[in-house]
Amino acid sequence: MKNRAFTLIELLVIVLIIGILAAIALPQYQKAVMRTRYATLKNVVRSIADAEEVYYLANDKYSVDFEELDVEMPGGKLDNSTADHYYYGWGICYVADTENQPEVACFNRLTNMSYRIRLIHSVKNPGKQLCVAHGSTDANTLQAQICKAETGRTTPSSTKTAENNQYTSYWYK
C-alpha cells in the first residue's frame, strides 16, 4: 500500500492561496468594522439631537447639560465627564450652543472620525450634518472614503492642517 501525502509544492500553493485571500479579506473587514462604528456614532448623535429638540420645544432653548436631556446614553461614562461633555473609553460626545450654532457631536477615537448635527434652530446651517475624518487631510484615507460614501460628496467641504489637528470634513447633501 502506497502512503498518500501532500508534497511540499502543494502545501506552498495552499499557503499562498490562503495568504492572497487574507490580503483581500482583511481590508474589507476593517472597512466593514469602521462603517459599523461610524453608524453607531451617528445613532448616538441622532438620539442626543432628538432629545435636544424635545428639550427645545419644552423650554424654548437648547440644553448644554446631558443631565437635563431625556436620553439614555450608552454605558461607559468616564469620571472626567462634565455637564456638556460625555466621555467614553471609545471617545467623547458633546452638546454646544456657541455663536447661535447649537450642535451635537461625537468623536470616536477608535475610528478617528466624528459626526455632527447642527440643531434645527441654529442660525447657521440648521439641520446640517457633517462627517469628519480626523488625522489627515488626505481624501483617500479609509475614513475619508467612508465620509464620501456616507455624504455622497466626492470632494471635501473643508480641510484643516495644524499640528495635532488635521482633518477632512464632508457636509451631507
| pLDDT profile of the chain (173 residues), mean per 10 | 82 93 88 92 93 93 88 75 85 86 92 93 88 88 91 88 79 80
Cβ burial 101-119 (10 Å sphere, 16+ → b, else e): ebbbbbbbeebbbbbbbbb
CA distance 71 to 73: 6
Residues in the chain: 173
Tally Cβ neighbours within 10 Å of residue 97.
Answer: 17
pLDDT at 164: 67
Q: What would the grid cell of residue 150 be?
A: 456616507
pLDDT at 80: 76
pLDDT at 18: 93
pLDDT at 35: 92
SS3 106: strand
The maximal CA–CA distance of the chain, rounded, in angstroms, is 89
- CA 93 to chain CA centroid, nearest Å: 11
Is the distance from CB of 113 to CB of 147 less than 8 angstroms?
A: yes
pLDDT at 4: 82
pLDDT at 136: 86
CA distance 17 to 24: 11
CA distance 149 to 144: 9
pLDDT at 123: 84
CA distance 157 to 41: 20
